[in-house]
Chains A and B, each alone.
Chain A
Amino acid sequence: MSDLESFRLETRDWLEENCPKSMRTPYESDDDICWGGRNAKFTSDEQRLWLQRMASRGWTVPTWPAEYGGGGLDREHAKVLADELSRIHARPALMSFGISMLGPALLKFGTEALRQQHIPPIVRGEIRWAQGYSEPNAGSDLASLQTRADDHGDHYKVNGSKIWTSYGDKGDWMFCLVRTDSEARKHEGISFVLFDMATPGVSTKPILLISGASPFTETFFDDVRVEKDQVVGEVNKGWTVAKYLLTHEREMIGESGVSEAGSASISEIAVRKMGLNNGVLKNTMLRSDIAKLEIDEIALDLTIQRARDEVKAGASLGAQSSMFKYFGTELNMRRYELLMAIGGLDALDWDGGENADGLLPKSWLRTKGNSIEGGTSEIQLNIIAKRILGLPG
């Protein structure tokens, strides 16, 4: 038996024994997502147990090095694990920005001490990270950020504010872009720093969205002390780290639409809600938009698969992540427009009614931010035009 096959069997047995039954069902609401953190609220003991067991093997981050608590798996073994998890419909044991964003940047740019300090708690879901990037006057033009870190000998004092901090009020630590040299050109005076959000001087204020939820905050810094050993990469070279991390963020955002596509076929929903006429969906105009969407969803899935295969064969993804971010988010928005049309009058209910407390219209409104956050669609098109097509500008 090959090594991979025995790993598969061993993994299957382990999951059978260790993945609680309630963790093998689809999420019922966003509350079922396990984000971890100091103030983690587990919806059940089984959710907590699932996280602990997966973390004990480093399988919350299967490909990270074992020396920092990761799973230490190569791509082939990680693929086997992913297959086995999806075979039993297991929920992700842990979601976090530490995993999807900070971790890869720390592994690439962080000192040994920083890795030892921060990566194991990410693996175990003990610290929940928040991202401090955008500012009120630095959106698409992120590098014009003004939050200042002034040199006070052995530490910095940070002053300024951030906006669009995802779950800023739930974060334990923040990775943050600050200006450490106000004389330098805008890309060259930025540093990438880490600090505990419980530090005096940090405060957050939730932002109410059109969806009725507040997944983002404004975050304010008033003389916040940041130790100098908490700079990732070189001082004033934070933009390099930031860009590397944005690439990861774009891949994640671009792919989120796809995983959702896998969960429910929109044509099945349409057939259930609207009915068929001689085997054909009653509204034939809507039907053709649905067919186009379903074809594009499959096409995007295949393209992600192809990109992975190319990376495996030695290519680098680079600016292609902008393509996935652009198309993935636009596709998800198209999907929700169609779901609203299919939902018809039921989809108008915000409170009570047929519609599970307005989940659909709230989600639909939330998708309007997909083509804005993480770099707008227009910014992604700029990147594709310049970096892939080589157009001037």
Chain B
Amino acid sequence: MALVLNEEQVMLRDAARDFLTARAPVEHLRSLRDAGNSVGYSSELWAEIVDMGWAAIVVAEEHGGLGYGFAGIGLLLEESGRTLTPTPLLSSSMVAAALITRHGSDDQKATYLPALASGEHLLALAVDEGTQHDPTSCNTVAVEAAGNYSLNGSKVAVVDGGFANTFIVAARKSDESTGLFLVSANATGVKVDTVSHLDTHKAATVLFADVEVSAAAELAMPDGLEFMLDVARIGQAAELLGIAQEVLERTMTYLKDRKQFGVAIGVFQGLAHRAANLYTEIELCKSVVLHALRELDAGTEDIAAIASMAKAKLAETAHLAATEGIQMHGGMGMTDECEIGFFLKRCQIVEALYGDRYFHLDRYAKLSGY
């Protein structure tokens, strides 16, 4: 399949850009912060997004979705990276929808997919427990008792955890394998503590104390956890691509406008060459992200190396863009008033969740046999 957007995808991207820049620009994130919003996103905005069908993109038509695939949701995440708009698109509309489509039972599909497509039901991934992302180490346990499970443990950095209806919880079973369980946020023994991250988005620490979970709430294995995380990583790569492009464009505008020594500072090679290098890196990133989304759409079995490549490359480049963006904006770049610093904050969050560039370089090398 050609590595270019088709006409429909271009229309979707343009519509998303128009909507987000009009309704939820970076100023939207700032106002959530300054108003002390305790949820971390705007449910009114989400309702409008749902009306446009964005929540239904990954869900198949037979389950009430649009069946439009990953290339589509990738464009939406890329555009929301440009505006830093907090939405449940990644966790719910992309990852949960993909996971349940692939690993869900018929009952689970019937329960969750239409509700995901209609945006009424939100899911959050509860995976990490320690300071470093490490899906191989799972201390949350699921003990079998009378055909059901009892869950005990705690999860950190649960994105959307403060408002999700259901958690997808990774827990170790008696045979030492890691299972994924769909656990209602209202279940007895679930305790949610919201934290505000440095980018104003919210996450949660979630405790599970003797939470009873029916066997029917377990997702089919194997490899569900890795698949779920890899889909998330590719979605993150798309968001990071949006961030990197937006920072580059804003910075180029600044280099053309800002005058020192009587000339626009973009004249100086000390800046121009770094900008040109950044442009080149971002062009490579575009291809990597597009390729990864295409592979997801093609249903490629083994996406682990593709996902790690995408996350490693995008994390590095977006971070470079964000730090260069601040440096090239000079003193203004350090101010809260100038929005450029917001992009670095968001970058740091997206990078660290589900594995940073070091994690993914290491994983990529292992997957490649070294």
A residues contacting B by CB (< 8 A) are: 267, 270-271, 276, 279-281, 287-288, 290-292, 294-296, 298-300, 302-303, 305-306, 309-310, 312-313, 320, 323, 326-327, 378, 380-382, 384-386, 388-393
Contact = CB atoms under 8 A, between A and B. Distances in A.
B287 A299 contact: yes
Contacts of B280: 323, 326-327, 384
B246 to A, nearest CB: 15
Contacts of B22: none
Given A385-B273, A391-B252, A291 B365 contact: yes
Contacts of A299: 284-285, 287-288, 309, 313
B370 interface: yes
Contact of B365 (A281, A298, A389, A392): A281
Interface string B250-292: 0010011000000110110100110111011001111110110
Contact of A392 (B256, B273, B291, B358): B256
A288 B285 CA distance: 19
A323 B277 CA distance: 9
A86 to B, nearest CB: 19
A390 B4 CA distance: 24
A378 to B, nearest CB: 7
Contact of B279 (A267, A279, A294, A323): A323
Given A382-B269, A391-B256, A392-B267, 7 more contacts: A291-B312, A306-B3, A309-B3, A326-B276, A327-B284, A380-B276, A382-B276
A388 B276 CA distance: 9
Contact of A391 (B267, B284, B368, B369): B267
B258 to A, nearest CB: 11
Contacts of B276: 326, 380-382, 384-385, 388-389
B4, B255, B256, B285 — most chain A CB neighbours (10 Å): B4
Contacts of A287: 365, 370
Nearest to A270: B370
A385 B272 contact: yes
Nearest to A388: B279
Contact of B370 (A271, A382, A386): A271
Contacts of A312: 2
27 contacts: A267-B369, A270-B370, A271-B370, A280-B365, A281-B370, A288-B358, A291-B312, A291-B368, A292-B361, A296-B313, A298-B309, A299-B285, A299-B309, A300-B284, A302-B284, A306-B287, A309-B2, A327-B280, A381-B272, A381-B277, A384-B280, A388-B276, A389-B276, A391-B256, A391-B264, A391-B267, A392-B264
Contacts of A303: 283-284, 286-287
Nearest to B281: A327
Interface string B342-370: 00000000000000001001101110111
Nearest to B263: A392
A157 B330 CA distance: 56
A305 B266 CA distance: 31
Nearest to A320: B283
Contacts of B3: 302, 305-306, 309
Contact of B272 (A271, A302, A309, A393): A393
A323 B283 contact: yes
Contacts of B273: 378, 381-382, 385
Nearest to A322: B276
Contacts of A386: 272
Contacts of B364: 291, 294-295
Nearest to B255: A391
> Contact residue range for chain B?
35 or more
Contacts of A306: 3-4, 286-287, 290
A299 B316 CA distance: 13
B287 A267 contact: no
Nearest to B290: A306
A298 B292 CA distance: 12
A244 to B, nearest CB: 22
Contacts of B266: 385, 389, 391-393
A151 to B, nearest CB: 40
A1 B263 CA distance: 63
B263, B272, B273, B280 — most chain A CB neighbours (10 Å): B280
A33 B135 CA distance: 50
Interface string B227-264: 00000000000000000000000001001100000011
Contact of B252 (A267, A270, A382, A390): A390
B256 A295 contact: no
Nearest to A326: B280
B370 A290 contact: yes
The 3 A-B residue pairs with the shortest CB-CB distance in the complex, in nearest-first order: A391-B266, A384-B276, A302-B287
Contacts of B358: 288
Contacts of B291: 302
A296 to B, nearest CB: 7
B313 A389 contact: no
B312 A382 contact: no
Contacts of B263: 392
Contacts of A267: 365, 368-370
A393 B286 CA distance: 27
Contact of B309 (A290, A295, A382, A392): A295
B370 A313 contact: no
A393 B267 contact: yes
Contacts of B277: 381
Interface string B201-215: 000000000000000
Nearest to B3: A306
Contacts of A313: 2, 4
A303 B317 CA distance: 15
A281 B361 CA distance: 13
A29 to B, nearest CB: 28
Contacts of A276: 370
